[in-house]
């Protein structure tokens, strides 16, 4: 994996789903939030992803994007990324 791709991937994992969150001190996390305020990041992220997935649901099977449809339609159940994102320790 090229370094810029690996860095982007690592950033998404910690920012979106909280992987590695505990590897940073509260002070370091506060510095990040001060420099880059999140607003209502979790809900805005899920809204954008859901809108995208609903436009072409046939392309989402077997991907994390299928989880956004499940979140939009409470009748459908399977383990999903949306629950994990909402439960990350990052403030929203």
Separation of alpha carbons 90 and 83, rounded Å:
14
How sure is the predictor about 77, in pLDDT bands with cuts at 50, 70 and 90? Answer: low
pLDDT of 79 reads 54
- Residues 66, 72, 77, 82, CA torsion sign: positive
Classified as helix, coil or strand, 25 is coil
DSSP 22: G
CA angle at 58 for the pair 57 and 62, rounded to the nearest 5°: 95
Separation of alpha carbons 65 and 22, rounded Å:
26
**What does the pLDDT look like over 15-71, one tens digit per residue?**
888 999 999 999 999 999 999 998 999 899 999 989 888 888 777 767 877 788 888
pLDDT of 90 reads 86
pLDDT of 2 reads 93
């Amino acid at each position: 994996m090229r370094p810029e791709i690996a860095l982007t991937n690592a950033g998404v994992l910690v920012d979106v789903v909280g992987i590695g969150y505990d590897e940073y001190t509260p002070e370091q996390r506060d510095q990040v939030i001060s420099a880059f305020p999140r607003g209502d990041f979790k809900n805005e992220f899920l809204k954008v992803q859901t809108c995208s997935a609903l436009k072409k649901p046939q392309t989402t099977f077997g991907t994390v994007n299928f989880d956004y449809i499940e979140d939009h339609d409470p009748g459908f159940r399977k383990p999903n990324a949306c629950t994990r994102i909402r439960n990350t320790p990052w403030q929203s």
